[in-house]
Amino acid sequence: MSKKFSRNTKQRQILSKSLITSLITNKKIITTKSKAKLLIRTFEKLVTLAKKNPTLAEPRISAQIPNKVVVKKFLEEIIPGLSSNFGNFNQAKLGRRKSDSAEMVQISLKMITPINLPLSKNPEDSVPVKEEKKNKKPGKTAIKKI
């Protein structure tokens, strides 16, 4: 039995659709832990459906995601960028919300980086250079009190 979130059936369906839509558009979302479980469950089902056969899955995906632009982004950008196995999410605990002490979680998609990147012939370009920190206020230094 799934959670009801103190909502009726239509409100739960809209909640699920809005969570999925915002995850696809922003690629990360901050929500409560129980809503994150709902999101991961439904999103994984959509990913599996889209990977099996994207052309036949498009009507079923558009039933879950009402915005056509978001469906197009999901099928053309998100699905090819996800890994082939389950666990396409990074989940970070953010602590508890002050108002009602609900446990907050940040969910972000694990996207595969493109393999065919053009490599630079100059070796200095590929090594990141660490920059020195600059004082925000010139002329002032930190004084420690003993």
Query: Does the residue 79 lie in any domain?
Result: yes
Query: Does the residue 139 lie in any domain?
Result: no
Q: How many CA atoms lie within 13 A of 97 on its CB side?
A: 11
pLDDT of res. 28: 92
Q: Please report the sign of the dihedral spanned by the C-alpha atoms of residue 133, residue 137, residue 139, residue 140.
A: negative
Query: Does the residue 94 lie in any domain?
Result: yes
> Which residues of the chain have a pLDDT value below 70?
1-2, 84-86, 113-146
Tokens representing 72 are 């197009």
CB 52 within 8 Å of CB 58: no
CATH number of the domain to which 85 belongs:
3.90.1030.10
pLDDT of res. 25: 92
Residue type, 18: S
Query: Does the residue 52 lie in any domain?
Result: yes
Domain count, the chain: 1
Query: Does the residue 21 lie in any domain?
Result: yes
pLDDT of res. 117: 41
* Cross-strand pairs, 29: 107
Q: At what angle do helices 54-64 and 33-52 cross, to 10 degrees?
A: 150
Tokens representing 94 are 């953010």
Query: Does the residue 127 lie in any domain?
Result: no
Query: Does the residue 16 lie in any domain?
Result: yes
